[in-house]
Amino acid sequence: MMIQENVPLAPLTTLQVGGAARYFAELRREADVREAAQFAKIRDLPLFVLGRGSNLVVADSGWPGLVLKITIGGITSPNTNDAAGNAVFFSVGAGVNWDDFVAQAVAQNCAGVECLSGIPGSVGGTPVQNVGAYGQEVSDTIESVRAFDLKQDRVVVLPKPACGFHYRASIFNSTERGRYIILRVNYRLKRGGAPSLQYADLQKHFAERKTQPLLAETSAAVREIRQSKGMLIVPGDDDCRSAGSFFKNPVLSEEQFKDLAERAASKGLEVPSYAAGQSQSKDAQRKVSAAWLVEHSGFSKGYAAGAAGISHKHALALINRGDAKASDIVGLKDQIQHGVQEAWGILLEPEPVFVGF
């Protein structure tokens, strides 16, 4: 393990803003993790675990402690089958590019992650905010997470129920934030399974289709839709210099939603929403489109605020228009939050992780 000093973090993130890490190490092997953790502990340095930087806003002052970039690789499939003979288990290194794993699963005709095609980031980053898109979430297929527990100073395996998955949430970004360094993620996929076509955009894409699309066709359709929304990283496309969706879709109680719907109706508008219930008790909750709220609060696609702006293709993606600082991005975030709260009485919650603020 080699420790470097004053390593710029902006080039290691998709938003490309922010300062340097005081100390930085890249970890390719599980065996290096304890040593790196010790380095930080002895010097009383704050630790930040970096994946592929696709969900981060790094402060202009950078990170005062140690940044550990996890690049542990390897996709193994022990080929364990369940009674029905079609469950396939994959164990994937935290540093593997998520989209490479999805491509491999799809190529092997394994269903479960096809709608998560084209999401940037590492495999280790996916459990953190329970990555999801187009009707699938990683928690649908995660069996367990192998991690280094900084509290107990040992490697542990957390079965799915221990991960506390919810919409864009897990123990890793809430109750146990900063406790675990994810080393590998174990997924259970279904060989020969049907693609998930719950999402309206996907149903529309295949509307003319008489037969069920293949997993590969579903994956390609997702990528096409994502590209049209600037949610696929395409070199040379300035709308991709983002951290993806900057705000979570608010989940409202029945009463809050009624208020919002009435406000909208008084302006002759209808708020796009869908049921958010994961359990019986939450059935009445509604998830509301954050993009709609942003666009109906005076912030259109292509909106510019100095070096920061909103993508021309998606109202939820805040972009670095060239030489933005983190403070420009945060300024625009504040402006949007304020505008939406004024217009609709809802405080949008940011989705990316703020590092060093």
Ligand X SMILES: Cc1cc2nc3c(=O)[nH]c(=O)nc-3n(C[C@H](O)[C@H](O)[C@H](O)COP(=O)(O)OP(=O)(O)OC[C@H]3O[C@@H](n4cnc5c(N)ncnc54)[C@H](O)[C@@H]3O)c2cc1C
Minimal distance in Å, beta carbon 295 to ligand X? 18
Give whichever of 121 and 250 is closer to ligand X, judged by the CB atom.
121
Q: At residue 193, what is the residue type?
A: G
Residue 351 a catalytic site member: yes
Distances (CA, A) of 19 to 22, 55, 98, 355: 10, 16, 26, 10
Which of 141, 139, 341, 148 shows the shortest CA–CA distance to 250? 341
Which of 146, 145, 119 shows the shortest CA–CA distance to 132? 119
Give whichever of 51 and 213 is closer to ligand X, judged by the CB atom.
51
Give the Cα separation of 131 and 52 in Å (integer).
14
Minimal distance in Å, beta carbon 61 to ligand X? 18
Which of 137, 182, 185, 144 shows the shortest CA–CA distance to 161? 144
Contact positions toward ligand X, by CB under 6 A?
Answer: 14, 48-56, 70, 94, 119-122, 124-126, 128-129, 131-133, 172, 180-182, 231, 233, 240, 242-244, 353
Minimal distance in Å, beta carbon 298 to ligand X? 24
- The tokens of 70 are what? 């996890």
Catalytic residue among 54, 122, 245, 297: 245
The four Cα atoms 92, 98, 103, 104 give a dihedral, to 10 degrees, of -10
Give whichever of 54 and 141 is closer to ligand X, judged by the CB atom.
54
Q: Between vectors from CA 168 to CA 9 and to CA 262, what angle results, nearest 5°? A: 120
Residue 286 a catalytic site member: no
Give the Cα separation of 85 and 91 in Å (integer).
18
Catalytic residue among 146, 168, 184, 226: 168
- The tokens of 71 are what? 């690049």
Residue 5 a catalytic site member: no
- The tokens of 174 are what? 């809430």
279, 51 Cβ separation under 8 angstroms: no
Minimal distance in Å, beta carbon 232 to ligand X? 7
Max CA pair span of the chain: 63
Catalytic residue among 30, 217, 224, 351: 351
Give whichever of 234 and 284 is closer to ligand X, judged by the CB atom.
234
Minimal distance in Å, beta carbon 65 to ligand X? 13
- The tokens of 314 are what? 């998606």
The burial of 327, by beta-carbon neighbours within 10 Å (0-12 exposed, 13-18 middle, 19 or more buried), is given as: middle
Minimal distance in Å, beta carbon 323 to ligand X? 18
Crossing angle of the two packed helices 98-107 and 215-228, in degrees rounded to 10? 150
Give whichever of 110 and 115 is closer to ligand X, judged by the CB atom.
115
Give whichever of 260 and 353 is closer to ligand X, judged by the CB atom.
353
Catalytic residue set: 168, 245, 351
